[in-house]
Structure 1
Amino acid sequence: MGHEFSVERLEYLTSHLDRYVDDGRFPGYSCLVTRHGEEAYFRAFGQRDVERNLSMDRDTVVRIYSMSKPVTSVALMTLYEQGKFQLDDPVSKFIPSWSDLSVYEGGDGEAMVTSPSTEPVTIKHLLTHTSGLTYGFMNSHPVDALYRNASIGGERQGSTLQDMIDDLADVPLTFTPGSRWNYSVATDVCGYLVQLFSDTDLDVFVRERITKPLGMSDTGYQVPASSKDKFAACYRYKRGGGFELQDDPTTSPYHQRPTFFSGGGGMVATIDDYGRFAQMMLNRGEFGGHRVLGRKTVEYMVTNHMPGNVDLAAMGQPVFSETSYHGIGFGLGFSVVLDPAAAGVLDSPGEFAWGGAASTYFWVDPLEDMTVVFLTQLLPSSTHPIRRELKTLIYQAIAN
């Protein structure tokens, strides 16, 4: 069958992405597209380490930040398949300190008013980001400040997932569970539950159940010693244009095994590694003769789980996340396209995706039998509209 892309039209993609590097907006990038199980496009261009003049290569290891979330969600669902829990189980069934959570009502600081939650946080709420949890960096809600003050989310040196769970028991939810959608530390809590149900550290569980079977040898919670020289620098956007060094790859904490295994944002990977994960999801749970999830489980995960099948725009005031809101729903760990016209970009209904803080992105399109992985290392992901541009430039090149 072949990949059925126009090679000539894919040059639009190359020219556009190369300009990002030539104009000093990205240090470097790599992009991998597959269709019908065949590689249709790959390019790595620019530098993984500008200061040392090292090129961005196919085997470059990068921080994938929130692209860790789909991996953690898959890890938790492998345990669901073993009967370890039900999706509607209250989290307090397994974390007793969460039995009496409160919900924000108004005010801030010492004047904050809360009330007992009328609904328990369930495991499904965690997977769908409808739990009422938040992120301290949001700066959009008075509860966010409580997260920052308590350094919730692995911010303290030597902290653990257990520390985060204990801290969250004392902080109010931002809303009644199930009533809104809000990006949050919920996937870190999912990582904690993986440890609890499996009696195994999260990094070990993910390696044994997902990355090793799929051949993702450079993916994990620290840079493998054998790949330390392939690790990219991370940059942050500099006001006025360009970028500046944020994390030096030679002194980065990613070279050490962490004490806080962030299922929400702590992993590193290469483009081929993550491409294997994406292909496993496209194949409905199997890749290279190894089955990670059952077919029905994958189909369930990439179904929209918002109440009434509404999009994220109908689930509360939009705040930062790694997706747009109109025409987009959310499954169990993935955004899900409901209506490409409402989303305002070339796409297919049923496409599922997620991205990371350093402008990384991936999507899987079952309708077109296609996967896309894009890697770079520029914080924050909102700096450039690269994700929408990638959709246009790749979909326009489909020839059949």
Structure 2
Amino acid sequence: MTEVEVEVEPGEAGFDAKRLHRLGDHLDKYVDEGHLPGVNVLVSREGKIVYRHMYGQRDMERALPVEADTIYRFYSMTKPITSVAIMQLYERGAFQLKDPISNWIPSFAQSQVFVGGDAENPQTREASRAISIHDLLTHTSGLTYFFHMAHVVDEMYRRAGFDWTTSPGDLESQCDILASLPLLFDPGTEWNYSYSTDVLGRLIEVMSGMSLDAYFKRNIFEPLGMVDTDFSVPSEKQERFASCYYPNGEARQVALLDDAQRSRYLHEPPAFSGGGGLVSTLADYHLFTQALRNGGSLDGQRIVGRKTLDFMTSNHLPGGVDLTEYGRPLFSETAYDGVGFGLGFSVVIDPAKAKVLCQKGEYAWGGAASTAFWIDPVEDLTVIFLTQLLPSSTHPIRPEMKTLVYQALE
């Protein structure tokens, strides 16, 4: 499936068509003003596509337009796929969520927590308990990311070789290095966006006996017909690949960051990143989100159980609190106010506190290059937005899109 076309008119699906077109008009302004290279958006309701919009370019240097089959860097929109994959193994009895990850990755058996010092001479103490699989799924493991630039441990990650373009060795080696670095906090005591989902990817490999890419293909991509989703772009698809951009200077005009024809994504990576390594298309991710919207199955192919998915898209933060109360005020692919976190997804728990037009129970995630999706089970609504501008915090596109979609409902 490469084509994604409107299947039902907006008015037949409970939308005011004129008001819904405000969405494309608004996004086009970002492109016309030089703030985004191009946009690609899909809105579906009750399993039918009601709105499609493409505008701008996938490769500004070569004047190549955004097309239905354009291939994008999905970055952290890989995480929901990895989370579903590990829960498939949970459904097969491979583990319990409380199990320590050291059962499969022994280097995590003696986790230490940072208490003082600097990156060269950190002071640590033994963690109060072991990191569990549930901690990884909920980002409460105590791990972090190199790009937070907020803590000594973040610096230690950078010194260990973690950055945007390189990583230290294969996935097994990376996990052993992560295990050797101190945690930010005791597992289960705070929320912090981190390499947790990459470690989940390694757990999938160990438990299944398969490489992460092979596991994804057999258990998710092939059953759903996701033919353009992988950890690299093959040569025959290179022409379809989008370049990635960044906001340059105070005017935040787009400038080339990663040339599609010279990108590292044209080669197989040294490690398969379950936290942010996939490239994909609008059509492929639409298949994945429709399987989620349909309770875990699509066209007779079930990738996860209905009850399991309900469990994953519930708020798992202790006491039902939101990320503001439990998380560190650092970058992630979600807002914090009124938003909880499940097993691989953000979950809206209080729209009024979020101060964004949205729906309680809506679950979502996004990627570093400003991509995003959300699923609203109440309104039976799915939205996917694709572009390539890093970082995703550059513009308030996600809350703006929610306003523009929900205001169009009859």
TM-score by length of 1: 0.97
1:5 aligned partner, one-letter code: F
Match of 1:203 among 188, 202, 213: 213
Map of 2:66 onto structure 1? 56
Instruction: Please point out which of 134, 141, 151 is paired with 1:141.
Output: 151
1:209-260 per-residue CA deviation (whole Å, 9 max, x = no partner) reads 1111111111111113432111001001101220111111111111112121
% identity of equivalent residues: 51
Letter in structure 2 aligned against 1:323 = T
> Do 1:48 and 1:55's aligned partners in 2 also have CA atoms closer than 8 Å?
yes
Per the alignment, residue 134 of structure 2 pairs with 124
How many residues are aligned here?
A: 399
Give the corresponding residue for 2:328. 317
Do the aligned residues in 1 keep the contact of 2:147 with 2:163 (CA within 8 Å)? Answer: no
Match of 1:108 in 2: 118
Pairing partner for 1:299 from 297, 310, 321: 310
Say which SS state the counterpart of residue 300 (structure 1) adopts.
helix
Corresponding residue SS for 1:378: coil
- Assess if the C-alpha contact under 8 Å between 2:97 and 2:133 holds in 1: yes
Segments of structure 1 that go 5 or more residues without pairing to the other structure are none
Helix, strand or coil at the partner of 2:74: strand
Instruction: Work out whether 1:258 is the aligned partner of 2:269.
Output: yes
Output the aligned Cα RMSD: 1.3
Corresponding residue for residue 4 of structure 2: none
Deviations 1:65-112 (A, max 9, x none): 000000111111111111111100011111122111110112323442
The correspondence of residues 109-258 of structure 1 with structure 2, limited to 5 A, is: 109-152=119-162, 156=166, 159-241=169-251, 242-258=253-269
For 2:167 and 2:361, the matched residues in 1 are separated by 41
Opposite residue 389 of structure 1, the aligned amino acid is: E
Alpha-carbon separation, structure 2, partners of 1:198 and 1:95:
14
CA contact (8 A) 2:160 2:168 kept: no
4+ runs of 1 displaced by more than 3 Å? 152-158
CA distance in 1 between counterparts of 2:16 and 2:119 reads 58
Q: CA contact under 8 A between 2:169 and 2:271: conserved in structure 1?
A: yes
Give me the TM-score of the superposition, normalised by structure 2: 0.95
What code does the residue aligned with 1:371 have?
T
Q: Would the aligned equivalents of 1:152 and 1:168 in 2 still touch at CA under 8 Å?
A: no
Which stretches in structure 2 are left out of the alignment for 5+ residues?
1-7
Deviations 1:281-313 (A, max 9, x none): 111100122100011110000000000111011
Conservation of the 8 A alpha-carbon contact between 1:154 and 1:260? no
Distance 1:184 1:316 in 2: 12
More deviation in 162-171 or 126-135? 162-171
Asked whether the 8 Å contact 1:154–1:160 carries over to 2, the reply is no
8 A Cα contact 1:165 1:189, kept in partner = yes
Measure the CA separation in 1 of the matches of 2:326 and 2:279.
31
Q: Which residue of 1 aligns with 2:93?
A: 83
**Secondary structure, in 3 states, of the residue corresponding to 1:132?**
coil
Counterpart of 2:280?
Answer: 269
Partner of 2:5: none
CA separation in 2, counterparts of 1:155 and 1:148? 12
Q: Give the partner amino acid of 1:144.
A: D
* Partner Cα distance (1:97, 1:52) in 2: 47
